[in-house]
Amino acid sequence: MFKYPGGRVYEKREQVAAGKANATYGNRGMTLEADLNETNAYYLERGIAVIHKKPTPVQIVRVDYPKRSAAVIKEAYFKQPSTTDYNGIYRGKYIDFEAKETRNKTSFPLQNFHEHQIYHMKQVLAHGAICFVILRFTTLDEVYLLDAHHLLEFWERKEKGGRKSITKTEIEQYGHLIPLGYQPRIDYIKVVDKLYF
């Protein structure tokens, strides 16, 4: 059992969605993650880029040893809020990005981002690194790369009492559609080349 710092029990999305009719909803966060992990493995194998998913820091509290050779974690807590999902290096530049999905067809809710992630992106940008978000509209099967500068502008608008989401039109205007492929699945490096090099 994993717990957040406040003591609330962490449940996998699959567990939360188990009682719902639409089983794919429970795995919505995993499809983008799986596609990006596959893409990053492709980049790594071919010497294109070194980009990895960051592990979530966890503090283990209780472990049972039912057998000598098998330990079972019974209780653990997230140590601290994580920053963004992925980081690494490409063409000598540090890359840092977050990946999010929505089933919404007309906008992307900013509630999908956390304040500590926004703060982290500001810090990364202040040091001249490449920072962006990859957004997937799952029902439309569209993936966009949006530079973090634009995300921060939309976040600031929200903080000042404006829209609590980014419209699909704004994402189309400021973001860059990433065509889905086979090898790699989400070839975001092509967009990175175009935007930052």
Distance in angstroms (rounded) separating the CA atoms of residues 18 and 80? 27
Share of the chain above pLDDT 70, in %: 80
Q: In the chain, what are the domain boundaries? A: 2-196
At 24-79, the pLDDT tens digits run 344 444 589 999 999 999 999 999 999 999 876 667 788 888 777 788 878 777 66
**Amino acid 11: pLDDT:** 61
User: Which residues contribute to the annotated binding site for Mg(2+)?
Assistant: 83, 85, 98, 117
Name the packing angle between helices 115-126 and 148-159 (round to 10°). 130
**Amino acid 61: pLDDT:** 80
At 167-177, the pLDDT tens digits run 999 999 999 99
pTM for the structure as a whole:
0.77
Asked if 177 contacts 143 with a C-beta cutoff of 8 angstroms, the reply is yes
* Cis upstream peptide for 55 (omega within 30°): no
Asked if 54 contacts 86 with a C-beta cutoff of 8 angstroms, the reply is yes
Asked if the model's pLDDT at residue 23 lies above 70, the reply is no
End-to-end CA distance of the chain: 45
**Amino acid 7: pLDDT:** 57
Indicate the fold that domain 2-196 takes in CATH: Trna Endonuclease; Chain: A, domain 1 (3.40.1350)
User: Which residues contribute to the annotated binding site?
Assistant: 83, 85, 98, 117
Asked if the model's pLDDT at residue 196 lies above 70, the reply is yes
Asked if 52 contacts 37 with a C-beta cutoff of 8 angstroms, the reply is no
